[in-house]
Structures are given as structure tokens and as C-alpha cells.
């Protein structure tokens, strides 16, 4: 894996990790993603969330 891909993967989290960080339910996090309130992209059925932005706004 290239360094760029490795760095990119270190900067994103999934819904489960976002739940662990924030205590918000997985369903609520998915709704925030779908509404554009979280910087995220959907790949297939999986939401990929910008870790830094999520931590700034939702970490407990």
C-alpha cells in the first residue's frame, strides 16, 4: 500500500468506531452522514467518516 493510501486510511473511521468515540447510536450516526451533517462518503452500504472532523464535533 502506498504512503498516500495509508495516510488516507488513518484519517477515516467507520460507523462502529464513531459510535465508540461519541456514544451516539450507529443509526443516528448514519442519519447524520446521510443528512450531510458529518463529512462522510458512502461506499456500497458502508459510511466512511472523516475522523478529524468527527472528533472535533462529536467526541465526548
Each residue's pLDDT tens digit, 10-29: 899 999 999 999 999 999 99
Predicted confidence (pLDDT) at residue 36 exceeds the cutoff of 80:
yes
CATH class, domain 3-58, is mainly alpha
Band the pLDDT of 43: cuts 50, 70, 90. Answer: very high
Residue 10: per-residue pLDDT: 81
Task: Count the alpha carbons within 13 Å of 28 in the hemisphere toward its beta carbon.
Answer: 8
User: CA 19, 33, 39, 7 torsion: positive or negative?
Assistant: positive
Residue 8: per-residue pLDDT: 62
Predicted confidence (pLDDT) at residue 7 exceeds the cutoff of 80:
no
Domains in the chain: boundaries: 3-58
Amino acid at each position: 500500500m502506498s504512503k498516500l493510501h495509508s495516510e488516507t486510511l488513518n484519517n477515516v473511521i467507520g460507523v462502529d468506531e464513531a459510535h465508540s468515540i461519541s456514544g451516539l447510536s450507529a443509526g443516528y450516526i448514519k442519519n447524520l452522514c446521510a443528512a450531510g451533517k458529518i463529512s462522510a462518503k458512502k461506499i456500497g452500504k458502508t459510511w466512511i467518516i472523516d475522523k478529524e472532523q468527527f472528533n472535533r464535533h462529536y467526541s465526548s
